[in-house]
Amino acid sequence: MSFTAQDVKALREATGAGMMDAKKALEANDGDFEAAKQWLREKGLAASAKRDDRENNQGVVALKVDGNRGALVLLKSETDFVAGSDQFKAEADALVELVLAGGADAVAQRQAQLEELKITLKENIEIGQAAQIVAADGNVLGHYEHVQGGRGVNGVLVEIAGGNAELAHDIAVHIAFARPKYLSRDDVPADVVDAERKTLETITLNEGKPEAAVPKIVEGRLNGFFKDVALLEQPYAKDDKVSIKQLLGDASIVSFAQLEIG
Taking only the tens place, the pLDDT of each residue in 137-153 is: 999 999 999 999 899 99
Are 133 and 253 members of one domain?
yes
Range of the domain at 160: 58-184+237-260
User: d(Cα 38, Cα 42) in Å, to the nearest integer?
Assistant: 6
Are 143 and 63 members of one domain?
yes
Helices (H) and strands (E) in the chain, counts: 11, 8
Are 14 and 45 members of one domain?
yes
Amino acid (one-letter) located at 197 = R
User: d(Cα 82, Cα 90) in Å, to the nearest integer?
Assistant: 12
Are 147 and 127 members of one domain?
yes
User: d(Cα 135, Cα 168) in Å, to the nearest integer?
Assistant: 12
- DSSP assignment, residue 162? S
pTM of the predicted protein model: 0.78
Instruction: Tally Cβ neighbours within 10 Å of residue 155.
Output: 30
Are 34 and 100 members of one domain?
no
Are 244 and 146 members of one domain?
yes
Q: Terminal CA-to-CA distance of the chain, rounded, Å?
A: 46
Are 17 and 139 members of one domain?
no
CA distances to 143, 224, 239 from 235, in Å:
19, 11, 7
Are 84 and 139 members of one domain?
yes
The predicted-structure confidence for 51-100, as pLDDT tens digits, reads as follows 555 677 899 999 999 999 999 999 999 999 999 999 999 999 999 999 99
- Please tell me the total count of domains within the chain: 3
CATH number for the domain spanning 22: value is 1.10.8.10
Mean pLDDT of the chain: 91
**pLDDT at position 122 over 90:** no
